[in-house]
Amino acid sequence: MAENKKTRKEIEKLREEIRYHDYKYYIENQPVISDKEYDALMQKLIKLEEKHPQFMAPDSPTQRVGGAPAEGFGEAKHIVPLLSLSNAFSFDDLEAFDKRVKRMLGLPPDRDIEYVSELKIDGLAINLTYENGRLVKGATRGDGFRGENVTNNLKTIHAIPLRLRGEKIPRLLEVRGEVYMLHKDFQGLNKEREKSGEPLFANPRNAAAGSVRQLDPKITAKRKLNIFTYASGEYRDGRIETHIELLELFKSLGLKVNPTTRLCKNTREVIKFCRNWTEKKKGSGYDVDGVVVKINSLRLQEKLGAVTKSPRWAIGYKFPAEQATTRIKEIIVQVGRTGALTPVAIMEPVGVGGVTVSRATLHNEDEIKKKDIRVGDRVIIQRAGDVIPYVVSAIKEERTGREKKFIFSKKCPVCGADVSRPPGEVVIRCTNISCPAQIKETIRHFTSRGAMDVEGIGDAQVEQLVEKGLIRDPADLYYLKKENLLTLERMGNKLAANILEAIEKSKERDLSRLIYALGIRHVGSHIADVLAKNYSSLDKLSKARAGELFSLPGIGPIVAKSVELFFKQEGAKKVIDKLRRAGVKLEIEKKKEAPQILVGKTFVLTGILEEFSREEASEIIKGLGGRVSISVSKKTDYIVAGKEPGSKYTRAKELGIKIIKEKEFKKLIKRS
């Protein structure tokens, strides 16, 4: 026993020492030992853990190498939504933002507001969740409310602490950050890929995003990824008054914060910061596409709140876009799932904003006429951040006379049906709701992961199913038979059976996902959630009128009208009727209140559960009257221990608290 205690103490001491050197190297950029000495410490720890596996911990520095490949990423919900920013493209936009903020806060126009200016890193937004200082979950932004669980991949990034430092460690902390890749590391990665005959990454952002989303964490571990943290979501413990204080807390906890961040007394100082970094951005060593401007006072942030997808207290200033010149070879028209016809310029390839571009949107017919864009023109194209490249203007002085004006056809380029331009709109639409282009896009959306998530139905399958006339709308999926699927290319018995099983399984998706899957214009996953919570069935929603929809949180007049018009369409009514007859769940099930068998009992969850996510297990416990805590104390009744339990497990043993495995937990909750 004494020997074990000594070994455990030695392991913990080694871990702390390595964490300290990680902090000095990756956060402060001031290493105090050589690489050789660091490697010796790591090897010593690895050997000790291998010899004494009972002391293994998920937050040990040895766990950064990456585990076994995942079959796919699970879903991870953010406790507080990870919203995107509205954009400012000029200093006038920043001034207008400042005026708008003052108006909403009831402040006089000449009153200064403190802002924090931070470089807008062009990387991948992620959300880290720490419980009692330990990293328990890492996720991508996703739709802002739920993303992909990429915890094991993010653990391989040395700049992300697996355990927070310092004395003021919150019980629960969501940390928002941007994963990025330094230019030198990006160039090195592409050189390696070129040597091995692999396709090159277009830019550092794509490389970072692709690396984080590798199913095999060992691949992620080989990529030199970095991170800057910039905001919090959920934060329990202590009180912070300003955003600058929050960033100082992050630094004290061992989180990496961009050192260029500045506190500005007013918009004049914000504009000075933006102007300065417009010139300096290329010397930063990583991709920067703008400046994020936030109100410093957290009290004012809370008072201003947010609209559906963006906070009212922050804005992203975009640096002036990069431009290039090229020639338009032809103009084609694409048809989207709502029937919108979009003209696209096919151009001679040209590099702009770090990406080779050969296509650019021309937006609509009015835009082409206004700019007088012609086939054969030399044009200026522009790309800013991840915005789709677009044609700024034609270089008319270089015309030869052989250029041709583009005339929109009166017929749909896909199905040949008439096209129309609804009053008050600039978009021309195909009038045929059975247009193959619309059907294909509609079905792709319906079966996508965030919608009905029908595994096995990809682009190739959708193309063939529509071309063969096997499906004409999403509801037809539920009437497919095995013999239908076997007529598709590369389709065997097993794959066909799996697809039919996935289709059957999708009948039980939540109402919110079904609403989103229907492809109603302007209705994303969040709006679909709002609609599902306020209308318990698709039938009730179909009878709602724009006036009552407009009263719901986050829904404006355009969205409200769009929802009402969708359900008035005969085509939509037919699809819903077919879904009903196929057995697709069109309403929220009324659940019986579970017997409150866990009233007065406090649970703590630790480790990895196989059949439940932590959120699911927590909801079950609460539904049965119990309480879930994130920390162990003498008042804890049960520890539910999954694989790789951590310090909570050890603490529970010390206090003599009852520890149950997942199997016992399932028996306990089944009593209901």
Query: Catalytic site residues?
Result: 120
564: phi then psi, degrees, rounded to nearest 5:
-60, -45
For 568, the token pair is 């008035």
For 658, the token pair is 């009852």
Q: Do β-strands 134-140 and 314-318 pair in parallel, antiparallel, or remain unpaired?
A: unpaired
How far apart are the C-alpha atoms of 114 and 265, rounded to whole Å?
Answer: 5
How far apart are the C-alpha atoms of 430 and 436, rounded to whole Å?
Answer: 11
How far apart are the C-alpha atoms of 267 and 526, rounded to whole Å?
Answer: 32
The number of beta carbons lying within 10 Å of the beta carbon of residue 359 is 14
How far apart are the C-alpha atoms of 645 and 605, rounded to whole Å?
Answer: 9
DSSP string, 373-426: -EET-EEEEEE-TTSPPEEEEE-GGG--S--EE----SB-TTT--BEE--TT-S
Helix (H, G, I), strand (E, B) or coil at 449: coil
How far apart are the C-alpha atoms of 317 and 89, rounded to whole Å?
Answer: 6
For 168, the token pair is 């003021």
Q: Which residue, among 30, 35, 170, 145, has the nearest Cα to 84 in the 3D structure?
A: 145
Q: Most distant CA pair in the chain: distance in Å?
A: 92
Name the strand (E) or helix (H) holding 580.
helix 570-582
Q: Which residues of 257-289 are buried (b: 16+ CB within 10 A; e: fewer)?
A: bbebbbebeebebbbebbeebeeebeeeebbbb
Q: Which residues of 224-256 are buried (b: 16+ CB within 10 A; e: fewer)?
A: bbbbbbbbbbebeeeeeebbbebbebbbebbbb
Which residues, at least 6 apart from 136, have a Cβ–Cβ distance to it below 8 Å? 129, 130, 151, 614
Helix (H, G, I), strand (E, B) or coil at 104: helix
The number of beta carbons lying within 10 Å of the beta carbon of residue 467 is 11
414: phi then psi, degrees, rounded to nearest 5:
-100, -50
How far apart are the C-alpha atoms of 611 and 605, rounded to whole Å?
Answer: 13
How far apart are the C-alpha atoms of 463 and 66, rounded to whole Å?
Answer: 38
Task: Beginning with the edge strand found earlier in the chain, give each strand of the sheet holding 627-629 in spatial order.
Answer: 627-629, 602-606, 638-641, 658-661
What distances in angstroms separate CA 296 from CA 105, 182, 231, 261, 624, one per listed residue?
14, 28, 12, 12, 42
